[in-house]
Amino acid sequence: MPRALDTLALTGICGVLLVAFYYQFALDELPCPLCALQRVGFIIAGVGLLLNLRAGYSPAHYGLVLLTSVVAGSASLRQIALHVVPGSGSYGSALFGFHFYTWAFVGYGALVVYTGVALLLEGNRPARDLAHDVSRGRSPIAAAVCWLFVALTAANMLAFALECGLGPCPDNPTSYLWWPRGD
């Protein structure tokens, strides 16, 4: 059951990254530096879940998810605070009435709760059961989600390089640095 829940959580992170890509490439909304930081946070949290699925359960993997969610959630909260003042505007489109930085904050909160529950559930299992997690047959669905996550991580790194080059990203990006287009 824990492997299925980790697979579901990693699928959710893949969904977040796919929606972000859709808005970036289909709707031409480039991520600002705080948005990019929040995406990287989802990627690092996903690495913790990926490690649980591929290498076996470890509280350290959940610790990575938890710490990343708190730090990246703080970046989301910072961006919410920047745009909460009336007249300050917002950044990017809204999805179901909320901007992505608000959804990111909700997502990180959900990851914190999920991690706490998973640690409570997994903390009661005998060590010998935990050691057998990695040797059990791996689900083809979990394997597919893991490969999708790896592909999305690589695509994000490429997208960040196209947008920012090797330097800092612009505060309000309007075009790609390394992808000239005939606009």
Residue 146 belongs to a domain: yes
Report d(CA 134, CA 155) in Å as an integer. Answer: 28
Residue 179 belongs to a domain: no
State residue 167's pLDDT score.
Answer: 84
User: How many other CB atoms are there within 10 angstroms of residue 161's CB atom?
Assistant: 14
Please state the pTM of the whole predicted model: 0.88
Domain count, the chain: 1
Residue 175 belongs to a domain: no
Residue 121 belongs to a domain: yes
183 residues of the chain, pLDDT tens digit each: 678 899 999 999 999 999 999 998 888 888 888 989 999 999 999 999 999 999 988 899 999 999 999 999 999 999 889 888 777 777 778 888 888 999 999 999 999 999 999 998 876 665 545 545 554 557 899 999 999 999 999 999 998 888 888 888 888 877 787 776 655
Q: Could you tell me the sign of the dihedral formed by the alpha carbons of 145, 27, 165, 38, in that order?
A: negative
State residue 109's pLDDT score.
Answer: 97
Q: The domain spanning residue 68 has which CATH number? A: 1.20.1550
Residue 178 belongs to a domain: no
Residue 125 belongs to a domain: yes
- What's the alpha-carbon Rg for the chain, to the nearest Å? 18
Running DSSP on this structure, what letter comes out for residue 138? P
State residue 126's pLDDT score.
Answer: 59
State residue 168's pLDDT score.
Answer: 86
The residue whose two tokens read 């909700």 is 106
State residue 53's pLDDT score.
Answer: 93
Q: Exposed, middle or buried, 109 (CB in 10 Å: 0-12/13-18/19+)?
A: middle
Residue 63 belongs to a domain: yes
Range of the domain at 7: 2-164
Q: Which of 41, 61, 44, 65 is nearest to 52 (CA)?
A: 61
Residue 126 belongs to a domain: yes
State residue 172's pLDDT score.
Answer: 80
Q: Could you tell me the sign of the dihedral formed by the alpha carbons of 86, 21, 96, 50, in that order?
A: negative
Residues 6+ apart with CB under 8 A from 151: none
Helix axes 140-164, 33-55, angle to 10 degrees: 150
Residue 114, SS3 per DSSP: helix
State residue 134's pLDDT score.
Answer: 53
